[in-house]
Structure 1
């Protein structure tokens, strides 16, 4: 298989569950892209939201070095990973099924960026039917403090304090110089994930799940991103959970989170089967407001 050298997991639902939920139509394939340092046992809890709904799920989390090192220094290693992930659809002969994404934090969104670019430009994937995307706790831009918090949490307690501080210092200097001070120049060589998707977003609907209590990704970054892509005609919905920490919305609000994700998937499926799906390709220059809901704990 083309994707044998990346560590992914794929789960197929039983035929009865699929038929009960999708009644003869092709069940969606949901691709979940984990946050930096995410363990598969954690990502599998999210995939169960969709497995129990009769969906095929593919789980993948990019290695730490590609998120914190390769992307920081402009090496597009994740572009090759994005290609392999899309080729999985052909390996398992589900390329004719509707595709849905669920993306977590900047670590997942960096990879999603390259998938979007391939779907924009590669003829091989022009026939794929993407329904929409749920984005959890992303995207963020130019937040050195948040990036350091994310790296600190990812490194965990096993690494020695001295080595941890050295790595954090090197990372902070690199991010500050390459992604903030020199970014007006370096963006012509390697644009960051935030700007790349904001400036050329895909046409399918986006559902942004975030929280004002997030200490890693600034809520204002997400809101500005939503406003920008909505102005380009992309349907955008947002939900502020208000009190949950970074990528902890499901942990704190499991029932609401599950319901919102499933309802959005079903709405995207219905939309893709109607005439609006054909029209969506022609609305890039329209200006549509995005919708916000606020979850009160």
Structure 2
């Protein structure tokens, strides 16, 4: 479904499927945050992983202008989007269910950054119980070449070559100046997503799926980020698909990818004794 303010889709499972998988507990709500330029038909394939497990799923992809323009210039439009996305949980009365995030590329992670900040600071969301986050092909930082490649792929072949190269050149210059050359100063006004979450990470478990063949997000950025969270006491796991390119791990390895997503979700849903949570506690930053 969609509303007038933001374009999202929500799917509820049937009771029989939910009961089969979650044994009388509240089924998880999985929020999927798409990569820049992601179409809903692509995100639907990922949400089916969780729909078949009896989960509620919410699919949303931030507009291109907020990812490539607003964030580059330090405008925090995505913060308002994050607020609206969390309010959807209350609109559909699923705010007491376990919340699980599935995040794609920097486009999804930029939005996740503001969600994390709201969960840290806003009392309106103090009742929410986040159980984990799976991160696909993110996060990356300070990679102008990767950012230009991402924008080029998003623009596609329909745009005229002259306009395309002009836009890419302007974008590259902007990112290089604001996010690399001037970043030691601009970070005091607007930190990038990578540094913001790394400095004050949430406490819930994270699972990073990446590939050394990714030419948009450098694998060393993902590994460094994961190591930093682990050092700060966040439960972290990661997996290198080795040969699949950016956000294509599911396409290249569908069975393996699906298995890893479901196993991680199930692990997040279990208490330390191995049974599904009967009583859930809020997961707050330490």
The TM-score with structure 1 as length reference comes to 0.92
Deviation at 1:271, TM superposition (A): 3.3
- Which residue of structure 1 lines up, in the alignment, with residue 190 of structure 2? 190
The answer to whether the 8 A contact 2:211-2:246 is kept is yes
Secondary structure of 2:103's match? strand
Q: 1:99 to 1:37 in 2, by over 3 A?
A: same
Q: Distance in 2 between matches of 1:279 and 1:125?
A: 10
Distance 1:279 1:231, change over 3 A: farther
Q: Does 1:15 align with 2:11?
A: no
SS of 2:24's equivalent? coil
What's the TM-score once normalised by structure 2's chain length? 0.95
Q: Evaluate the alpha carbon distance shift between residue 203 and residue 67 of structure 1 in structure 2; reply closer, same or farther with a 3 A threshold.
A: same
Report what 1:44 is aligned to. 44
Q: 1:24-39 residue pairs with structure 2 within 5 A? A: 24-39=24-39
**Do the aligned residues in 1 keep the contact of 2:129 with 2:282 (CA within 8 Å)?**
no
CA deviation digits over 1:217-274, x for unaligned, max 9? Answer: 0000000000111111000000000000000000000000000000000000003866
Contact 1:3 1:84 in 2 (8 A): no
1:3–1:85 Cα contact (<8 Å) kept: no
Runs of 4 or more, structure 1, over 2 Å off, are: 1-4, 271-275, 277-282
> 2 CA distance for matches of 1:222 and 1:18?
33
**Distance in 2 between residues matched to 1:234 and 1:197, nearest whole Å:** 12
Tell me the residue number matched to 1:164.
Answer: 164
Are the equivalent residues in 2 in contact too, given 1:3–1:88 (CA < 8 A)? no
Alignment of 1:1-297 (within 5 A): 4-271=4-271, 284=286
Aligned residues: 283
Query: CA offset at residue 133 of structure 1?
Result: 0.3
Runs of at least 5 residues in structure 1 that lack an aligned partner in the other structure: 285-297
Deviations 1:21-49 (A, max 9, x none): 00110000000000000000000000000
| Whole-Å separation in 2 of the counterparts to 1:280 and 1:94 | 17
Alignment partner of 1:271: what SS? coil
- CA 1:57 to 1:280, structure 2 compared with 1: closer, same or farther past 3 Å? closer
Q: Deviations over 1:125-179 (max 9, x none)?
A: 0110001000000000000000000000000000000000110000000000000
Which secondary structure state, in structure 2, belongs to the residue aligned with residue 16 of structure 1? helix
